[in-house]
A and B are shown apart, each in its own frame.
Chain A
Amino acid sequence: MKIFIALFIVFFLISAPVSAKDKFLDIQEIESASGIKAWLVEDHSLPIIAVSFSFKNAGSIQNSKEQQGLAQLLSNTMDEGAGDLKSQEFQKALSDNSITLYFNSSRDNFGGKLKTLSRNKDKAFELLKLALNEPRFDAEPVERMRQSNMARIRSSKGDPNWINARIFNDKLYSDHPYAFNSGGTLTTLASLTPEDLKQHHKNWIAQSNLVIGITGDISKTEAVLVLDDVFGNLPKQAKENKIEPVNLINENKNFVFEKDIPQTIITAAMPSLPMDDPDYKALQVMNYIYGGGGFGSKLMEEAREKRGLTYGIYSSLFNPELTNLIKISTSTKNKSVNEMMNIIEAQMAVIKNDKVDKETLKDAQSYITGSLPLSLTSTDKVAGILVSLQLDNRSVTYLDDFINDINAVTRDDIQRVANKVLDPKKMTTIMVGNPENIESKETVSELPNVE
């Protein structure tokens, strides 16, 4: 989920305003009588309301090696009965009213989404309030969700992409909590108890680390009341627990998990810049040109369009709370892995040695600035964006400033940031498959944090 959310943010950040004339989103900063804040975008075109929320640093980062999967199990069980409503009664109340409510846990944060038709809004807010404040954690649903998670792990054990992700976390993050499996292991899941769930809930579901985005068919007056009603009874203060940033390891190493499949799944990563770095906008444009843009990017042109080596190759910026990476992911038949790795390196050299031409820069800027409205087309997408922006500590005018910042990026900036970040010697590579002709490699035979 973390990767999903992060990719979403990255995608979002490379998408920005068409014109600075109008505000892209009419975001209202609202605050309840008791001081709970949220961002609101009113849109009465459909009878739908969406609420998105996130508790910062309440995700799997707070779980020990022995408690891997706790935050995820919490996300699976908070909607399985609350207050006087047992699991089936709670779920029936949701479906009878066509309400979507679910929780999700990422590596950093714990969050959730509510989506309802306007006519059922009172019921929807009532159920959300119950789930947040009085989850039951009855033995039956906890056990059911535990078994479901364990079946998911067993089902995934043969999936080369999943295997790649397990090894990636282990090799890059070492003994940092980021290395753990946020979905849990077969052993840790078996040991988690309702008491553990209550503890995580009590420690981390609070007002001090909460951000909220509301969109759709709801007025400011009403939204302000909802904030106090739904979130007002949560504890004021979350637990304090500062976790140190990741110390990235295993640079310039290539790890191979041998698996009898015709195509090797490849992920590579290097240290990158934090989002508040003055060069971050230049990095976003550079990444788009190098491999972030899909068709037209250097990697896609060389690997797919010219040579037919892959169905897809992408680079992406990955900025969770405690580390900053640029990732490259692709897959190719075992015989072509070496050629693929050479392309990845050669294209780094190209963008470092030669200034990108004017047209390439201009096209990248016009895509990045032109595609923002494409992400504003559904109620819950907008609610999600409101939460992402707040998690990244952006201001309400961020989207409107973004266009100018992107357009200010120069060819020199691209070259400078490429030289700062792209470095094959700092790259950690994970391969799952039977890659041929790979010279220096370390073989991984055990899957970390799975059993």
Chain B
Amino acid sequence: MLLKSFISTFLLTTLILITPAFAKVFNAEEFSLKNGLRVIVIPNNRAPVVTSMIWYKVGAADEPQGLSGMAHYFEHLMFKGTKKLKPGEFSRTVKKLGGNDNAFTGQDFTAYFQTIHVDYLDTVLSMEADRMMNLSVPEEHFKSEKKVVLEERRQRTENDPKGLLGEQLRSALFVNHPYGTPVIGWMDEIEEYEWDDVKTFYDKWYAPNNAVIVISGDVTVKSVRPIVEKHFKKLKPKENISRLRPNVPKAIGNTEMVLEHASIHQPSFQETYIAPSFNQNKDDALALQVLEQILSGGPTTRLYKTLVVEKKNATSVGISFSGTALDYGTITLYGTPKKGLEPEALIKDVHQEIANLRENGVTDKELADAKQQLIDSAVFARDSLSGPAMTIGYGITTGSSLDDIENWPEMIKAITKENVQSVAQKYLDPDAPWLRPAVTGYLYPKKAEAPKEVKEEKE
């Protein structure tokens, strides 16, 4: 079973992030402060612990031109001290209280979290309130942290030709839109940040009215509210926080990228289409989730069953829909052909399967099975402390309402065969693409040099 889900890290990350939001299973409650800070509480009393997250509605896609990676770099700086705390003291404090903390940045959000004994929720929220307004980073840390981010980029991307190609594919897909720029930023631009850039970014985006606190664990609204009020009530909201995002213009012409590289020993392909996000078109995004499950929800579903088990043209194949975004979502087809087969041949087979679905739709049984699996996954999603907070924070910062998230299974139940066939026709037809044609990437081993000469010698 393990190998069936063996796909590129890029896709895995996407898959984790699209874990759907689950309905009425979380039973989350919420309240807001007068300064606009929104607080969502997910009670779960299995252990005396909490995951406390603060999500800011600012991400890589909100960076000014020329400062790619600023949102992520800024996330690093948030651990580098305030007027009260020394650099590193935030995390050291969490640790000595037996907790863990970290943060992450996406295109649409920046999130900070701690998992800790419920008794220390007060301490961590006090420190979060402090760094929302009072960040103060010594110059030497500002400089050394740039080096850290450059090393992070080397580790994640520069060392890996697959990572580099993945970046270029997105860059080609999202013309005129910041989703085409990698969250970590381009090497050259990371090196050029100035303190003023950072200060401007912080002053613009970090405010109670641009943040959502999500707390999951051994708490209730009643227990959380006084703590949040104590630390955040005094913070002043900021004006003029708005996110201006351009559109991807209509385009024609197929884009193919081919990378031959000495580090590649196994050919593969990846093909990405722009699709609507939940925020852009909720109904279609839900139908795309069901479509994804029917085509690629395990070893007995269409793509794997037909191409890996029966036709034996591939060792792995699948489709992944990523719809949790403020702007556009994506659909990615991917596959690893069997030894000796070119990825171009496999991609034709995959297209054939999609064409079949576009023309003939899906069966009642396929639809029912897929929906049941998705709905059951909502129950398993509760079996976690941080998972529900992740799902809710991710949804809220990309335009979903708490009701959307809580009612997700009900909405999945409502999807019909016609909905599934219709989204396949709308978003997965190479002859009539939505917005623009897909971008296709091929990875190849470096061709062996001069095999002819070897032959001649033998003769």
- By a beta-carbon cutoff of 8 Å, the part of chain A in contact with chain B is 18, 43, 45-48, 75-76, 79, 87-88, 91-92, 95-96, 98, 101-104, 115, 117, 140, 144-145, 147-152, 154-155, 157-160, 259-263, 265, 293, 295-296, 301, 304-311, 331-333, 362-363, 366-367, 369-374, 376-380
Say whether A378 contacts B385, CB under 8 Å. Answer: yes
The answer to whether the Cβ of B137 comes within 8 Å of any Cβ in the partner chain is: no
In the docked arrangement, what's the CA distance between A305 and B146, Å? 11
**Given the contacts A98-B372, A367-B96, A261 and B158 also touching, CB distance less than 8 Å:** yes
* Contact digits for B79-112, partner A, Cβ 8 Å, 1 yes 0 no: 1000000011001100111111000000000000
The answer to whether the Cβ of B410 comes within 8 Å of any Cβ in the partner chain is: no
The answer to whether the Cβ of B272 comes within 8 Å of any Cβ in the partner chain is: no
- Shortest distance between the CB of A295 and any CB in chain B (Å): 4
A to B CB contacts below 8 Å, 22 in the list: A18-B117, A43-B46, A46-B379, A92-B300, A96-B369, A144-B309, A148-B6, A148-B316, A155-B268, A157-B265, A261-B159, A263-B159, A301-B88, A308-B146, A311-B155, A369-B98, A370-B99, A371-B98, A373-B48, A373-B117, A374-B49, A377-B386
- By a beta-carbon cutoff of 8 Å, the part of chain B in contact with chain A is 1-4, 6, 45-49, 79, 87-88, 91-92, 95-100, 115-117, 141, 143-148, 150-152, 154-155, 158-161, 261-266, 268, 297-301, 305, 308-309, 312, 315-316, 336, 338-339, 369, 372-373, 376-377, 379-380, 382-386
Say whether B95 contacts A367, CB under 8 Å. Answer: yes
- In the assembled complex, which residues on chain B have CB atoms less than 8 Å from the CB atom of A91? 298-300
Say whether B3 contacts A48, CB under 8 Å. Answer: no
Say whether A308 contacts B147, CB under 8 Å. Answer: yes
In the docked arrangement, what's the CA distance between A363 and B91, Å? 12
The 9 closest A-B pairs by CB, nearest first: A370-B98, A308-B147, A158-B263, A154-B266, A308-B144, A98-B376, A377-B385, A263-B154, A151-B315
- State which of B154, B379, B382 has its C-beta within 8 Å of the C-beta of A333: B154
**Given the contacts A45-B46, A148-B315, A310-B151, A95 and B379 also touching, CB distance less than 8 Å:** no
**In the complex, what residue of chain A is closest to B144 when comparing beta carbons?**
A308
- In the assembled complex, which residues on chain A have CB atoms less than 8 Å from the CB atom of B87? 305
- In the assembled complex, which residues on chain B have CB atoms less than 8 Å from the CB atom of A95? 297-298, 300-301, 369, 373
Say whether B154 contacts A377, CB under 8 Å. Answer: no
**Given the contacts A95-B369, A374-B115, A333 and B98 also touching, CB distance less than 8 Å:** no
Q: Total number of A-B contacts with CB less than 8 angstroms? A: 188
**Given the contacts A95-B373, A104-B2, A151-B316, A374 and B99 also touching, CB distance less than 8 Å:** yes
Say whether B151 contacts A309, CB under 8 Å. Answer: yes
By secondary structure, the B interface counts as mixed
Say whether A154 contacts B95, CB under 8 Å. Answer: no
Say whether A295 contacts B95, CB under 8 Å. Answer: yes
Task: Give the interface centre of B266, B305, B373, B383 by most chain A CB atoms within 10 Å.
Answer: B383
Say whether B47 contacts A296, CB under 8 Å. Answer: no
**In the complex, what residue of chain A is closest to B117 when comparing beta carbons?**
A18
- Shortest distance between the CB of A263 and any CB in chain B (Å): 4
- In the assembled complex, which residues on chain B have CB atoms less than 8 Å from the CB atom of A378? 383-385
In the docked arrangement, what's the CA distance between A332 and B312, Å? 41
Say whether A263 contacts B158, CB under 8 Å. Answer: yes
**Given the contacts A88-B300, A98-B373, A147-B339, A363 and B3 also touching, CB distance less than 8 Å:** no
- In the assembled complex, which residues on chain B have CB atoms less than 8 Å from the CB atom of A46? 379, 382-383
- In the assembled complex, which residues on chain B have CB atoms less than 8 Å from the CB atom of A362? 96
**In the complex, what residue of chain B is closest to A92 when comparing beta carbons?**
B300
**In the complex, what residue of chain A is closest to B152 when comparing beta carbons?**
A311
**Given the contacts A260-B262, A309-B147, A373-B48, A117 and B97 also touching, CB distance less than 8 Å:** no
- In the assembled complex, which residues on chain A have CB atoms less than 8 Å from the CB atom of B141? 305
Say whether A48 contacts B151, CB under 8 Å. Answer: no
In the docked arrangement, what's the CA distance between A220 and B22, Å? 31
- In the assembled complex, which residues on chain B have CB atoms less than 8 Å from the CB atom of A103? 1
**In the complex, what residue of chain B is closest to A300 when comparing beta carbons?**
B88
- State which of B1, B96, B152 has its C-beta within 8 Å of the C-beta of A363: B96
Say whether B309 contacts A296, CB under 8 Å. Answer: no
In the docked arrangement, what's the CA distance between A144 and B158, Å? 33
In the docked arrangement, what's the CA distance between A92 and B299, Å? 8
**In the complex, what residue of chain B is closest to A363 when comparing beta carbons?**
B96
- Shortest distance between the CB of B148 and any CB in chain A (Å): 5
- In the assembled complex, which residues on chain A have CB atoms less than 8 Å from the CB atom of B96? 362-363, 366-367
Say whether A117 contacts B379, CB under 8 Å. Answer: yes
In the docked arrangement, what's the CA distance between A278 and B264, Å? 48
- State which of B1, B95, B262, B369 has its C-beta within 8 Å of the C-beta of A293: B95
Say whether B47 contacts A376, CB under 8 Å. Answer: yes
- In the assembled complex, which residues on chain A have CB atoms less than 8 Å from the CB atom of B79? 295
In the docked arrangement, what's the CA distance between A98 and B409, Å? 15
In the docked arrangement, what's the CA distance between A366 and B2, Å? 37
- In the assembled complex, which residues on chain A have CB atoms less than 8 Å from the CB atom of B152? 311
- In the assembled complex, which residues on chain A have CB atoms less than 8 Å from the CB atom of B315? 144, 147-148, 150-151
Say whether B151 contacts A305, CB under 8 Å. Answer: no
In the docked arrangement, what's the CA distance between A278 and B27, Å? 48
In the docked arrangement, what's the CA distance between A144 and B305, Å? 11
- In the assembled complex, which residues on chain B have CB atoms less than 8 Å from the CB atom of A104? 2
Say whether B151 contacts A332, CB under 8 Å. Answer: yes
**In the complex, what residue of chain B is closest to A306 when comparing beta carbons?**
B144
Task: Give the interface centre of B117, B262, B315, B338 by most chain A CB atoms within 10 Å.
Answer: B315
Task: Give the interface centre of B297, B369, B372, B380 by most chain A CB atoms within 10 Å.
Answer: B380
- In the assembled complex, which residues on chain B have CB atoms less than 8 Å from the CB atom of A151? 266, 315-316, 336, 339
Task: Give the interface centre of B49, B369, B386 by most chain A CB atoms within 10 Å.
Answer: B49
Other than the known A362-B96, A367-B98, what 10 A-B pairs have Cβ atoms closer than 8 Å? A75-B2, A98-B377, A115-B380, A117-B376, A148-B4, A158-B261, A259-B263, A305-B88, A363-B96, A371-B99
In the docked arrangement, what's the CA distance between A144 and B87, Å? 52
In the docked arrangement, what's the CA distance between A267 and B437, Å? 44
Say whether A79 contacts B1, CB under 8 Å. Answer: yes
- In the assembled complex, which residues on chain A have CB atoms less than 8 Å from the CB atom of B298? 91, 95
- In the assembled complex, which residues on chain A have CB atoms less than 8 Å from the CB atom of B372? 96, 98
- Shortest distance between the CB of A371 and any CB in chain B (Å): 4
- In the assembled complex, which residues on chain A have CB atoms less than 8 Å from the CB atom of B339? 147, 150-151
- In the assembled complex, which residues on chain B have CB atoms less than 8 Å from the CB atom of A333? 150-151, 154
In the docked arrangement, what's the CA distance between A290 and B3, Å? 36
**In the complex, what residue of chain A is closest to B263 when comparing beta carbons?**
A158
In the docked arrangement, what's the CA distance between A117 and B379, Å? 8
Say whether B47 contacts A377, CB under 8 Å. Answer: yes
In the docked arrangement, what's the CA distance between A373 and B118, Å? 11
